[in-house]
Amino acid sequence: MSAIRTLEPYARSLLRIVAGFTFCSHGMQKILGTFGGLNGGTAPHWSLIWVAGMLELVGGLLIIVGLFTSPVSFVLCGEMAVAYFRVHAPHSFFPLVNRGETAVLYCFVFLYLCVAGAGTISLDAVLRKKPN
């Protein structure tokens, strides 16, 4: 049992990288118009959805490389909580009905990363081991 636990930091790194990549893709859609864009275009500059897209794009990239993981995850967790309660919850209490399950999952993955850290494969780990 303890042998598999030694893989936990690597599994956390993998979770962080995959979550960061998919999260960043949402930002790319809003800001750059990739993957069909936002209704065929991009979010208007400085609108709330543009700010969310910038958080997703830049925050997602930072999560992928594992730089400033805890504070960035804290901010992104908050963004997803706000997204859930502003966009999804007014339609129904249940995430499956209100189509908010992705926001809930991201919120709790980022909450976990905020507390647990980036994992072994990250710039945070490299900077932490930096010699004086």
Mind listing the pLDDT tens digit for each residue in 12-62? 999 999 999 999 999 999 999 998 888 888 889 999 999 999 999 999 999
Using an 8 Å Cβ cutoff, are 52 and 83 in contact?
A: yes
89, amino acid identity: A
pLDDT above 70: percentage of residues in the chain = 97
1 is a domain residue? no
pLDDT at 131: 66
Closest CA to 28 of 19, 38, 18: 38
75 is a domain residue? yes
Mind listing the pLDDT tens digit for each residue in 103-115? 999 999 999 999 9
pLDDT at 132: 55
Domain containing residue 29 = 7-126
132 is a domain residue? no
Q: What is the pTM of this model?
A: 0.92
Number of domains the chain contains = 1
